[in-house]
Chains A and B, each alone.
Chain A
Amino acid sequence: MKFFYNLLIALLIGQSAFAQALIVKGKIISKEDNQPLIGVTVVVKGGVKGVATDVEGNYSISLNPGEDTLKFSYIGYKPQVKAVNNQTEINVTLELDAQMLVEVVAVGYGTQRKSDLTGAVSSVRGADITKIPSASPEMALQGKVAGVQVSSVSGQPGAAPVVRIRGVGTLNDASPIYVVDGVILDDISFLSSADIESFEVLKDASATAIYGSRGANGVIIVTTKSGKGKADGKPEINFSSEFSLQHLAKKIDLLNGREFAEVVNIISPGSYNNLDAVANTDWQKEVLNDYAPMQSYNASLSGIAGKYNYYFGGGFFKQEGIVPKSTYERVTIKLNNIYTFSDHFRVGVNLTATPFKTQNPAGVIPTLYRAWPVSVPFNPDGSFAEVGGSGNPLADIEYTNNTTQHIRSVGAAFAELKLFKNFTFKTSYGFDLAYAKDRSFTPVFFVSPSQSADLSSLTVKNTQDKLWLFENTLTYNKTFGKHTLNVLGGITAQENTSGHLGGSVKDLIGDDPSLWYLSTGDQTTLTVDNPGDVISRLQSYLFRVNYQYDNRYLFTGSFRRDGSSKFGKNNRYGNFPSAAVGWNIINEKFMADTKLSNLKLRASWGIIGNEKIEGTKQYSLIDNGINPVFGNAENLNSGSSYGVTGNENLKWEETQQTDLGLEIGFLNNRLRGELDYYRKVTDGILVNLQVPGHLGNGAFATVTYNAAKVLNSGVELTLSWTDKIGNLNYTIGGNASSVNNEVLELGATTGANSFIISGSLGNGQSVTRTVVGHSIGEFYGYNVIGVFQNQAELDASPKLNGQQVGDLKYEDTNHDGVITTDDRTYLGSYIPKLVYGFNLTLNYKSFDFLMDFSGQMGNKIYNGKAEIRPDLYNFEANVKDHWNGDGTSNSEPMPSSGGVNYEPSSYFLQNGSFFRLRSLTVNYNFSSKLVSKLKLGKASVYVRATNLFTVSKYSGYTPEIATEDALSSGIDLGVYPVTAVYSVGINFNF
């Protein structure tokens, strides 16, 4: 490289000597760190001649007579102009351009300068995106953005986290939508983190209302990488690879063999007569892998070649789980190209193709939790032994063969056209195609009567999901004087289709995977699974105006009208307006002498919608397959009749959101802060309500209604401090958000349902209730106030039928002297009152040191797996401290297996607060000398630990217990353990 520059200089010198010209040399450094700047453009003002600085920041240019002014410019820095005045050496110190540094963030259907935003938008970009070893890119948001709760709820390979923005706004799916390069999607599992440029989280109505119908739970805009120019016009090539080991972060403390036998002897005296002879199997150790590998490789090539801007990315990710036979393997191919034909016209395409494969494990966690430690895994002959509890977990794993092969492709092609003056027209066609082929095979096996299969069986399912999105927008941009105006209008249409064809068969001709096809089984057992496709369509009109005056006064107004096929003709369209104002106080004249570097106020209001329900809920469908059998020959006859009643009056769920924001910066933005207050009221929440039995919809049938009103409000705070001590640069950042969730109305529009029962444990017991005045899905059951210590206390106390001394004592909440179901009460919520994260970044010479913490407070977890007890299962260690006579324990009852102590109660509730060192990274950057010797651009190696420690009182594998169902979250029924991950990785580019 240096040779090239020397040659260039030599040539220039030669040329100038011939022309008798003046040669000017110099060095260009950055004001911030006095480091040389490489690739600064030095041009003769008014001419075409120019050179660039070399790796030491030096330049040399020959000037002809008359060429007497040089312009020095560099991306991100304020350009400078210098008069030559016959000097032969001009050294320049370039200063960062605050205006240029101002973040540009993606907003719906466009981009905006962060300083121009009137809405609450948070960004995550750069190194933060690839910091967590996971198949799910959205893990990057955990603990990073105020108001966003990302829960990694399962350690199963490829498992996606549950994401909530500003609380739980709806009773059904409260997940945000993702907009990937303009395509609106429900998940981003197909993307490799390495291909992502930035995440923008749109939180308030001003930002999300442009997505109208789907913005109510927040919007996450994902921008993938595009070609970046290098000074020499060559492509940039990046490589990164990472190898990780996952390790069970925490074991559940279960009884060992002897302890179990002792407890069982209390429940059924005489069960184990020789405690020294009982076996002791640690099922967690027996079943779970000690270390499971995870690997990730990514390569990309990008650049700008003339009119062609390109990015090619390729990745391979493979994760094995700590449960045997669970894997996730993914190839990602990414292609982002833009071709600029002229100033007026450009076209582009963003494409991903993602083949991936999952091996789905047996649901073995509850089984190993329940397995008796006094049972052994294998018989003396090596076969699987019968295991007390709910079967032998190792046999479950052995005989479960379930794989899914997926192909997913998401992309968009667009054309952009500048029309007349100030108008830009953009048309874009996006798509999301997903195809999955699922096969599940069970061979003939026998472990015990209740864990056996007489016949082999195969279930197959081919699923195809398709989305297309056609968007046309027209933008008008105009700056006149101090006024800047940006107007957007658009028409969009979208269709989602999903469906599957599957079937099952028994008694296959053989067990080999080559025979796992429906044709190899007993054809009389063939069943076909081919329900109608689910189709939904949306048609929308959108409009937005951004106005900015003198960088001081900001206004945004937007309006979207959405029509959805999910609603009946009368309620088909919803209108979603928003308005917002912003005031950059810092730019006022009276702030000229302040020490503040930023001060801004924002306020917004808007209505956004939600339509995340099944497409056919408005219709009363005819059910097929209600088939009788007639005749001595037992002929199957077809029967059809009315299914579950539809609700033709369904309409949009609407969220009114108000946001007040303050942004502040001190000391040249070394200290930055952002404070937001929000209030979201969601009305007409689409919820599936149980309807009275006499309507004939069948047991527990539900009909969808616009039935509830929920409030979410809270405060979000983000702070960061950046400074340096000598060679040590550091940044400390933190964020916190509070959520207050309250149900305001229920059933107001349906005239029924004063509460919603949910949180089923699957054994007929339900542990949550949703009712006005409480938060969504609160835990509901008896409040335990102690253990009956003696007969006198038992006799004197209100009690449930059958309660004995040593049993849990439930609170008589209505003070009527007896314990009835009316004494059940609200016991707490799964929604944390506070979610927070903070991080520390240190940079010392070639070393970077990064730490991310995250946590939450004030939520409860229902340990459902401990309660479900139709049979005798193993117990958690707390049972060892059981009541054993008057005064021994007032919290742990006498051991029992089922019965009065296993009613839903506060006994099974635990504190869900936790504090976690989410990630710790030490990164070493190779010196620029070494790197340039190797002809590389940059190179670094790192070691990283993820989930290194978690402070939590919860007894289960992980305190992050959440489900997509807002009514039934926070219940641990045996989650796949979340692991601690240890990684090494290398990044380099050239």
Chain B
Amino acid sequence: MKKYSLVFLFFMLLSISCKKDFLDVKPQGNLTSALFPQSAADALLAVNAVYGSMHDWNIYSGGYPIADLLSDDAEKGSNPGDQSHLNLYKSYQFTPSIEELPRWYAALYKGIKFANVVNEKVSIIEMDVALRTRYIAEARFFRAMFYFNLVRAFGDVPKVINLEAERKMPRSPKQEIYNEIIIPDLEYAIVNLPSKNSYGADDIGRASKGAAQSLMAKVYLYLADYTKAEQYAMDVINTNDYALMPQFTDAFSVAGQYGSESIFEVGAREFENTAQGGNQYANTQGVRGAPNKGWGFNRPSVDLANFFEPGDARNTGTIISLGDIIDGVLIVGDISTPDITYSDPPTNSIIKEKETYNRKVWTPGTNTSTEWGHNIRIIRYAEVLLIASEALVRNGNSGQALIYINQIRQRAGLGALATVDLDVVYKERRAEMAMESDRFYDLLRTGRAAQVLGPLGFVAGKNELFPIPQSEIDLSEGALTQNPGW
């Protein structure tokens, strides 16, 4: 009996001896926010993640180039039934609950959070001060860009500038976002970022002073402060760090990656997942069927094809047609997609749509993974020339604007013009920037949207802004208001 009692004691002691911290289980395989970032190496990881957010499919307007669909440049594409809800953008019948908007909105704020991690946490890490400052400047460049995309699309939005955001936040006026975030962030970036050429070979692709200046020029264009727009655009031009690529298509090609025209682009590798550096942006729009097996969304419209002047290299540089041979590869297209659809069946005299694809995301190859390697060009020197031209014209210096407009036209294989006015700049801007999600905002900015897009369904007083996603309004329980007209 006694020895059994000892057995009993043994087990009782064993079970009581469970350590006090038995229930403290560290998460495996992940650090927690309390422990990161702490070192210089962490700081680099944190700033890299801000760039990494550009591989998030949703950050490009929820995956699908809806700004192009809303413009006169593009049709939905793919085969008719595929993602047919995207036609609701085309017809301006989309509602605040359409699915791209919340994904896009959330992806932009996720990027903003990553930037805030650097701004708030890296700034207190003890490390090389110059490097630390550069990291913060890189992050703030992104934060400005993300907020610029937010206010351009949604207008007033919640202002999140640190990691302790409230769950219920009202919208801040977009002017406040410009004044307190976008402009100060870009000013900081311009001062503290190195020029494009001072990055080492392995750091090419990081945000540069030129990128920040270019974005600032664009921001002021949208704020209609043409003096400042001209000033920042000229700053970029005067660095002489940039030049147009001789061939228009090389501004987008694999060979032209990080070329002289590239001010800011998103590096990507040919892997069908983001952790390995892939980016699905081009796959979404790539040639459907043979050869690329892309999804084929965002199809250049007949209107766009007809818009180009004869001989404009940007026509075939923007639009892929069936039967083209590009980089030695025959474009066959998709069997299940009609090659041509007509507006007036069965007479079939008016072409509504042709099976075409966006040349600006073209990657040579016969499988999808090559498309994941496409580097998206976020800011090109051509755009800076266009910003400068517009600002110069508006500021009364058409003579200098003409130089830049003609640089662009000559590269496109067109003759030089003798004079330039705003209409000329607008025309060149459409031809140059088509299918780059710019046209819709540009029409809004210049007050031409109702006139140009009215026939497509654009409603003045409503479609100047996207609606705040319905799910965000529901989640905010009254803190967020909807845009007018929605």
Chain A residues within 8 Å of B, Cβ to Cβ: 344-345, 415, 417, 419, 425, 427, 448-450, 454-455, 470, 472, 491-493, 499, 525, 527, 530-539, 563-565, 572, 615-616, 619-643, 646, 690-701, 750-755, 757, 764, 801-802, 820-821, 869-872, 897-899
B347 at the interface (CB under 8 A from A): no
Contacts of B14 in A (CB 8 A): 472
Contacts of B5 in A (CB 8 A): 419
A629-B277 contact, Cβ under 8 Å, with A697-B110, A700-B102, A752-B167: yes
B475's partner among A344, A531, A690 (CB-CB below 8 A) is A690
B402 at the interface (CB under 8 A from A): no
| Min distance, Cβ A933 to any Cβ of chain B, angstroms | 50
Contact B52 A491 (CB under 8 A): no
Closest chain A residue to B478, Cβ basis: A754
Contacts of A534 in B (CB 8 A): 28
Contact B30 A643 (CB under 8 A): yes
Closest chain A residue to B121, Cβ basis: A642
Query: Whole-angstrom distance between the alpha carbons of A642 and B50 in the complex?
Result: 11
Query: Whole-angstrom distance between the alpha carbons of A532 and B27 in the complex?
Result: 7
Query: Whole-angstrom distance between the alpha carbons of A630 and B24 in the complex?
Result: 39
Contacts of A622 in B (CB 8 A): 30-33, 35-36
Contact A754 B257 (CB under 8 A): no
Query: Whole-angstrom distance between the alpha carbons of A491 and B11 in the complex?
Result: 11
Contacts of A752 in B (CB 8 A): 167-168, 475-477
Query: Whole-angstrom distance between the alpha carbons of A700 and B99 in the complex?
Result: 11
Since A563-B23, A639-B47 are in contact, a sample of 4 more A-B pairs with Cβ atoms closer than 8 Å, ordered by chain A residue number, is A449-B335, A493-B22, A696-B116, A699-B110
A493's partner among B15, B288, B336 (CB-CB below 8 A) is B15
Query: Whole-angstrom distance between the alpha carbons of A899 and B335 in the complex?
Result: 23
Contact A642 B25 (CB under 8 A): no
Contacts of B168 in A (CB 8 A): 692, 751-752
B267 at the interface (CB under 8 A from A): yes
Query: Whole-angstrom distance between the alpha carbons of A691 and B47 in the complex?
Result: 25
Contact B48 A628 (CB under 8 A): yes
Task: State the 10 A-B residue pairs at the shortest beta-carbon distance, nearest first.
Answer: A532-B29, A696-B113, A532-B28, A626-B52, A628-B51, A639-B48, A629-B267, A641-B49, A693-B106, A639-B49
Contacts of B205 in A (CB 8 A): 628-631
Contacts of A563 in B (CB 8 A): 23
Contacts of A419 in B (CB 8 A): 4-5, 8
B114 at the interface (CB under 8 A from A): yes
- 22 A-B pairs within 8 Å (CB atoms) are namely A425-B11, A449-B289, A449-B334, A525-B271, A530-B29, A537-B23, A565-B23, A621-B32, A621-B33, A623-B49, A626-B275, A631-B205, A640-B37, A641-B114, A690-B471, A695-B113, A700-B102, A751-B167, A757-B471, A870-B81, A872-B81, A898-B84
B117 at the interface (CB under 8 A from A): yes
| Min distance, Cβ A773 to any Cβ of chain B, angstroms | 17
Q: Which of B155-163, B189-197, B405-413 contacts A (4 or more CB under 8 A)?
A: B155-163
| Min distance, Cβ A570 to any Cβ of chain B, angstroms | 12
| Min distance, Cβ A437 to any Cβ of chain B, angstroms | 21
A641-B46 contact, Cβ under 8 Å, with A455-B367, A696-B165, A699-B102: yes
Closest chain A residue to B7, Cβ basis: A417
Task: Tell me which residues from 151 to 200 in chain B have a Cβ below 8 Å from any Cβ of chain A.
Answer: 157-158, 160, 163, 165, 167-169
B469 at the interface (CB under 8 A from A): yes
Contact B268 A629 (CB under 8 A): yes
B25's partner among A536, A634, A750 (CB-CB below 8 A) is A536
Contact B25 A537 (CB under 8 A): yes
Contact B25 A535 (CB under 8 A): yes
A696-B160 contact, Cβ under 8 Å, with A493-B18, A764-B85: yes
| Min distance, Cβ A872 to any Cβ of chain B, angstroms | 6
B82 at the interface (CB under 8 A from A): yes
Interface of A: prevailing SS: loop
Task: Tell me which residues from 435 to 458 in chain B have a Cβ below 8 Å from any Cβ of chain A.
Answer: none
| Min distance, Cβ B445 to any Cβ of chain A, angstroms | 25
A692-B475 contact, Cβ under 8 Å, with A629-B268, A640-B49, A821-B95: yes
Closest chain B residue to A449, Cβ basis: B289
Query: Whole-angstrom distance between the alpha carbons of A638 and B203 in the complex?
Result: 13
Contact B15 A627 (CB under 8 A): no
When each residue 351-379 of chain B gets 1 if its CB lies under 8 Å from chain A and 0 otherwise, what string results? 00000000000000011000001000000
When each residue 75-95 of chain B gets 1 if its CB lies under 8 Å from chain A and 0 otherwise, what string results? 000010111110000000101
Contacts of B158 in A (CB 8 A): 692, 694
| Min distance, Cβ B319 to any Cβ of chain A, angstroms | 21
A801-B114 contact, Cβ under 8 Å, with A629-B277, A631-B267, A693-B109: no
Contacts of A533 in B (CB 8 A): 28-29
Query: Whole-angstrom distance between the alpha carbons of A377 and B241 in the complex?
Result: 60
Contacts of B277 in A (CB 8 A): 627-629, 634, 636
When each residue 45-60 of chain B gets 1 if its CB lies under 8 Å from chain A and 0 otherwise, what string results? 1111111111110100
Task: Tell me which residues from 256 to 273 in chain B have a Cβ below 8 Å from any Cβ of chain A.
Answer: 257-258, 266-269, 271, 273
Query: Whole-angstrom distance between the alpha carbons of A208 and B67 in the complex?
Result: 57
B-side interface residues, number (CB < 8 Å): 107
When each residue 287-308 of chain B gets 1 if its CB lies under 8 Å from chain A and 0 otherwise, what string results? 0111001000000000000000
Closest chain B residue to A621, Cβ basis: B30
| Min distance, Cβ B431 to any Cβ of chain A, angstroms | 29
B23's partner among A564, A623, A631 (CB-CB below 8 A) is A564
B470 at the interface (CB under 8 A from A): yes
Contacts of A530 in B (CB 8 A): 29
B128 at the interface (CB under 8 A from A): no
Contacts of A801 in B (CB 8 A): 93
Contact B45 A694 (CB under 8 A): no
| Min distance, Cβ A542 to any Cβ of chain B, angstroms | 12
Query: Whole-angstrom distance between the alpha carbons of A215 and B289 in the complex?
Result: 54
| Min distance, Cβ A651 to any Cβ of chain B, angstroms | 14
Contact A344 B30 (CB under 8 A): no
B350 at the interface (CB under 8 A from A): no
Closest chain A residue to B78, Cβ basis: A870
A871-B82 contact, Cβ under 8 Å, with A491-B16, A632-B257: yes
Contact B269 A692 (CB under 8 A): no
Q: Select the residue from B11, B50, B158 with max chain A CB neighbours within 10 A.
A: B11
B202 at the interface (CB under 8 A from A): yes
Contacts of A698 in B (CB 8 A): 56, 58, 106-107, 110
Contact B4 A692 (CB under 8 A): no
Contacts of A636 in B (CB 8 A): 269, 276-277
Contact A454 B25 (CB under 8 A): no
B418 at the interface (CB under 8 A from A): no
Closest chain B residue to A615, Cβ basis: B25
Contact A692 B81 (CB under 8 A): no
| Min distance, Cβ B111 to any Cβ of chain A, angstroms | 8
B344 at the interface (CB under 8 A from A): no
Contacts of A632 in B (CB 8 A): 201, 204, 257-258
Closest chain A residue to B157, Cβ basis: A694
| Min distance, Cβ B443 to any Cβ of chain A, angstroms | 23
Contact A531 B109 (CB under 8 A): no
B130 at the interface (CB under 8 A from A): no
| Min distance, Cβ B199 to any Cβ of chain A, angstroms | 9
Contact B106 A697 (CB under 8 A): yes
A626's partner among B32, B49, B336, B469 (CB-CB below 8 A) is B49
B381 at the interface (CB under 8 A from A): no
Contacts of A631 in B (CB 8 A): 201-205, 267
B12 at the interface (CB under 8 A from A): yes
A694-B81 contact, Cβ under 8 Å, with A448-B335, A454-B367: no
B97 at the interface (CB under 8 A from A): yes
Closest chain A residue to B93, Cβ basis: A801
B129 at the interface (CB under 8 A from A): no
B228 at the interface (CB under 8 A from A): no
Closest chain A residue to B275, Cβ basis: A625
Contacts of B266 in A (CB 8 A): 629
A754-B25 contact, Cβ under 8 Å, with A628-B267, A629-B205, A631-B202: no
Contacts of A757 in B (CB 8 A): 471
Query: Whole-angstrom distance between the alpha carbons of A648 and B49 in the complex?
Result: 24
Q: Select the residue from A415, A450, A492, A897 with max chain B CB neighbours within 10 A.
A: A450
